[in-house]
């Protein structure tokens, strides 16, 4: 996804404790992930070979961020509106009428196929990186500009093939992120599949990135509901993605699901003390603001889990957070918080203060990580388990390993190859009550990478669309006793 002042003397102790906590996070995660990984398969099958059919009573469930998925009409409105206003990169600088016209559409610099972050490519050609769109031959181009409908059709065609492969793996339910509405999703679904998104629910925010669920024939999700509190950033006029809840039967019993797409920009930082010594000063405001808005979401996320303590549940989606590198639980000898309070103590409410371009979270506690906060067993029964891919090293996904979502670029003069896909931020979390009646495969996180027209692993090209910057991640929910 695109795009607090250093504390006074009292903050020195907090930052020291943050470093201790961060070390504890990694150390503890090594143990916890290693334990969970012992149940993982030695490798994920190659894209060319589908899994064996799911056993009787099992449901294979995935999460997938589809990167600004639009239907043709919305794509047309986006291009025409941005072009009418000169393809702005800062909508806040426009007149109010222009801002209203652009509201609810993708950013005008989205899907431009250019290097991100911009400092990955050193160039001054065509005003780089200050403009929203650039020529096809620009040296900083990674993939095709999807403002062109022909290129966007290529994205849809690739996603359609990718979704069919996912269905061939036996996956029958997919949590979705970054989709505009049901119409956009239907264009890529396998035959017979259905979809519901947050846009269709009462009081859904008018934003371009909605969440939802798609399912195969025979699967019957119900009780769709908006978890609107997750959309509240604490900043007036800055709406985040809501949560999307529903219920579906797994091996004959109802399970409650929550699909999330949390605030980006605070992937592995200490949430309430995010700045690092090597952060460039021009990035400080954005880093602190992103972590502050993620911090503001945490009480709403924990509240959903706590309200279902002891019940069967799954939280899945794009967390924009490397929670496999975080400690599983708060411990007296390895505190998860920066202020010494236990993770079971209240997370909120929080308020966001604006100082110039910087947003600062003021909350009743100062936290370092996300997962220990929602996995604190308070109230009793609010315990979550992380599904993990095989081949982890200290909670980190090994490049080229079975958990690696990879979309490499080709090396070019003056530019080294890089990977356009995100790793380690798409997660599936199972409640303890559900885990107890499922086989160990429920904690094995499988990744299905992109392939080209020839069926080989996809390499990004400046003249081809990038289908998505995320891979689908899936697990098998099979009852104990299943073969």
Q: Are residues 144 and 100 in contact, defined by beta-carbon separation less than 8 angstroms?
A: no
Residue 147, domain member (yes or no) = no
Residue 124, domain member (yes or no) = no
Q: Are residues 319 and 370 in contact, defined by beta-carbon separation less than 8 angstroms?
A: yes
Residue 145, domain member (yes or no) = no
> In angstroms, rounded to a whole number, what is the distance separating the alpha carbons of residues 339 and 346?
13
Residue 2, domain member (yes or no) = no
- Report CA Rg, the chain: 22
Residue 139, domain member (yes or no) = no
- The 3-state DSSP class for residue 260 equals strand
Instruction: Record the tokens describing residue 156, joined without a space.
Output: 């849809």
Beta-carbon contacts of residue 116 (< 8 Å; ≥ 6 apart):
2
Q: Are residues 304 and 245 in contact, defined by beta-carbon separation less than 8 angstroms?
A: yes
Residue 303, CA distances (Å) to 98, 244, 306, 322, 351 in order: 37, 14, 5, 21, 17
Q: Are residues 62 and 177 in contact, defined by beta-carbon separation less than 8 angstroms?
A: no
> In angstroms, rounded to a whole number, what is the distance separating the alpha carbons of residues 470 and 450?
9
> In angstroms, rounded to a whole number, what is the distance separating the alpha carbons of residues 123 and 121?
6
Each residue's pLDDT, cut to its tens digit, for the chain (483 residues) gives: 443 333 333 343 444 334 434 444 334 443 343 333 333 333 333 444 457 888 888 999 999 999 999 999 999 999 999 999 999 999 989 999 999 999 999 999 999 999 998 988 989 999 999 999 999 999 999 999 999 999 999 999 999 999 999 999 999 999 999 999 999 999 999 999 999 999 999 999 999 999 999 999 999 999 999 999 999 999 999 999 999 999 999 999 999 999 999 999 999 999 999 999 999 999 999 999 999 999 999 999 999 999 999 999 999 999 999 999 999 999 888 889 999 999 999 999 999 999 999 999 999 999 999 999 999 999 999 999 999 999 888 888 888 888 899 999 876 666 667 889 999 999 999 999 999 999 999 999 999 999 999 999 999 999 999 999 999 999 999 999 887
Task: Please name every residue paired with 196 in a beta bridge, in sequence order, or none if there are none.
Answer: 213
Beta-carbon contacts of residue 111 (< 8 Å; ≥ 6 apart):
67, 68, 145, 146, 147, 152
pTM: 0.89
Residue 127, domain member (yes or no) = no
Residue 435, domain member (yes or no) = yes
> In angstroms, rounded to a whole number, what is the distance separating the alpha carbons of residues 349 and 364?
7
C-beta neighbour count of 289 within 10 angstroms: 26
Nearest to 465 by CA among 19, 152, 165, 254: 152
Residue 390, domain member (yes or no) = yes
Domain containing residue 46:
10-65+157-477
Residue 116, CA distances (Å) to 69, 140, 177 in order: 19, 9, 20
By 3-state DSSP, what share of the chain in percent is helix, strand and coil, each rounded to 5? Answer: 25, 20, 50
> In angstroms, rounded to a whole number, what is the distance separating the alpha carbons of residues 66 and 421?
12
Nearest to 61 by CA among 324, 256, 242: 256
Number of domains making up the chain: 1
C-beta neighbour count of 405 within 10 angstroms: 24
CATH code for the domain in which residue 422 is found: 3.60.10.10
């Amino acid at each position: 996804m695109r795009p607090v002042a250093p504390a006074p003397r009292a903050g020195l102790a907090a930052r020291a404790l943050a470093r201790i906590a961060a070390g504890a996070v990694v150390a503890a995660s090594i143990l916890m992930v290693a334990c969970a990984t012992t149940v993982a398969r030695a490798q994920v099958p190659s894209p060319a070979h589908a899994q064996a059919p799911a056993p009787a009573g099992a449901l294979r469930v995935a999460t997938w961020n589809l990167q600004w998925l639009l239907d043709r009409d919305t794509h047309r409105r986006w291009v025409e509106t941005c072009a009418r206003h000169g393809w702005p990169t800062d909508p806040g600088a426009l007149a109010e009428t222009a801002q209203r016209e652009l509201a609810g559409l993708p950013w005008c610099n989205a899907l431009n196929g250019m290097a991100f972050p911009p400092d990955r490519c050193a160039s001054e050609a065509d005003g780089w990186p200050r403009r929203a769109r650039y020529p096809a031959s620009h040296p900083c181009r990674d993939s095709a500009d999807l403002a062109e409908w022909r290129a966007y059709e290529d994205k849809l065609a690739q996603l359609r093939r990718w979704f069919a492969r996912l269905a061939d793996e036996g996956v029958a339910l997919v949590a979705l992120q970054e989709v505009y509405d049901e119409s956009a999703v239907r264009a890529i679904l396998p035959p017979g599949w259905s979809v519901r998104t947050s846009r269709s629910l009462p009081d859904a925010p008018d934003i371009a990135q909605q969440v939802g669920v798609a399912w195969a024939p025979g699967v019957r999700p119900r009780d769709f509901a908006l978890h609107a509190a997750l959309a509240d950033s604490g900043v007036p006029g800055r709406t985040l993605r809501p949560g999307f809840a529903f219920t579906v039967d797994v091996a004959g019993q109802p399970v409650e699901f929550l699909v999330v797409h949390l605030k980006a920009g605070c992937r592995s930082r200490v949430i309430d003390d995010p700045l690092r010594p090597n952060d460039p000063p021009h990035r400080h405001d954005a880093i602190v603001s992103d972590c502050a808005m993620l911090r503001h979401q945490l009480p709403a996320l924990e509240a959903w889990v706590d309200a279902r303590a002891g019940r069967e549940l799954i939280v899945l989606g794009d967390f924009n957070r490397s929670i496999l590198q975080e400690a599983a639980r708060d411990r007296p000898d390895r505190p998860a918080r920066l202020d010494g309070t236990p993770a079971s103590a209240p997370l909120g409410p929080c308020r966001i203060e604006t100082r110039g371009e910087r947003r600062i979270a003021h909350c009743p506690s100062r936290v370092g990580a996300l997962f220990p906060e929602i996995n604190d067993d308070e109230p009793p029964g609010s315990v979550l388990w992380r599904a993990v891919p095989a081949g982890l090293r200290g909670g980190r996904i090994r490049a080229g390993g079975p958990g690696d979502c990879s979309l490499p670029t080709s090396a070019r003069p003056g530019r080294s190859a890089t990977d356009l896909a995100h790793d380690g931020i798409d997660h599936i979390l199972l409640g303890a009550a559900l885990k107890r009646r499922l086989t160990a495969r429920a904690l094995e996180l499988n990744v299905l990478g992109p392939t080209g027209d020839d069926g080989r692993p996809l390499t990004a090209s400046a003249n081809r669309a990038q289908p998505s910057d995320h891979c689908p991640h899936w697990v098998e929910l099979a009852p104990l006793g299943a073969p």
